[in-house]
Amino acid sequence: MQSAAHRFIIADDHPLFRGAMRQAIEKMFDNVSIIETASLEDVTQALDKNDDVDLILLDLSMPGMRGFSGLMYLRAQYIGVPVVVVSGTEDTTTIRSAIEFGASGFIPKSLGVDVIFDAITHVLSGDVWTPPDIDLSIEDEGTKMAQRLASLTPQQVRVLMMLSQGLLNKQIAYELSVSEATVKAHVSAILQKLGVESRTQAVIAAAKMETGNWSSLAVPA
């Protein structure tokens, strides 16, 4: 169906689904190279070792992802590699949030092979693909905060995720091999970018980022 060579990462912690997706993609594309991963750490290691990855097919619920946190980190750290979320969820809010956090597409696992091929080819050509019956033009109260979260640098994403785990500045500094002063600077930048006044409010925003549930989040004007 396709003559150009491609390298894809299939990121899902279910071996049977990875195998099924691999077989489907190998029938769609000629000369395709596929890397299978089962966690966010596996994905980052694969990307660090391979600089020619064309696309990541990403499950949001595999180890290390923590909802949209992992997606946001991948988009910030590996800017040139498009990410398509492949999920068992077909909820409109989840799809919209995934696109807001930088995904180039969202493919429900229930879709057929022909639709998956169409989605992947659209993303490879630079387009954003979502199921045709999904309206992404509607903005809800989480849109502004999602955009602010998406503006964080990869290191700021790491710091925010560690703050949400309850780590102190000195513990974060140790984990990241930086000084406490550097961590404090990151925290200040995070608060400024998110438009919040405290670490607690930043952690609440991080929790919303992980779940995609913005219903109780007060977004600053």
Q: What is the pLDDT of residue 157?
A: 84
- On whether the CB atoms of residues 56 and 9 are closer than 8 A, the answer is yes
Are 38 and 13 a contacting pair, CB within 8 Å? yes
Residues shown for the chain: 221
Q: Which option is the CATH number for 143-211: 1.10.10.10, 3.30.565.10, 3.10.580.10, 3.30.450.20?
A: 1.10.10.10
Q: What is the pLDDT of residues 135-175, one digit of tens each?
A: 776 665 566 777 788 788 888 888 988 888 889 999 999 98
% of the chain residues with pLDDT over 90: 44
Average pLDDT over residues 100-118: 88
β-strand pairing of 6-11 with 55-58: parallel
For residue 45, pLDDT beyond 60: yes
CA 171, chain centre distance (Å): 25
Bigger pLDDT: 89 or 43? Answer: 43
What was the pLDDT predicted at 49?
94
DSSP letters, 91-159, are -HHHHHHHHHTT-SEEEETTS-HHHHHHHHHHHHTT--B--TT-------TTHHHHHHHHTS-HHHHHH
pTM summary value: 0.76
Using the predicted structure, report yes or no on whether residue 119 has a pLDDT greater than 50.
Answer: yes
Position 213 scores a pLDDT of 52
CA distances from 47 to 24, 52, 127, 173 (A): 22, 8, 22, 25
Task: Give, in degrees to the nearest 5, the angle at Cα 37 between 36 and 38.
Answer: 135
Residue given tokens 């068992």 in the structure block: 88
Residue type, 179: S
CATH of domain 6-124: 3.40.50.2300
> Domain limits of the chain?
6-124, 143-211
The pLDDT of residue 219 is above 60: no
- Report the pLDDT value the prediction gives residue 142, as an integer from 0 to 100: 62
Whole-angstrom distance, CA of residue 183 vs CA of residue 170: 8
DSSP state of 82: -
Evaluate whether 150 touches 72 at the Cβ level (below 8 Å): yes
Cβ atoms 124, 53 nearer than 8 A: no
Domains 6-124 and 143-211 share a fold: no
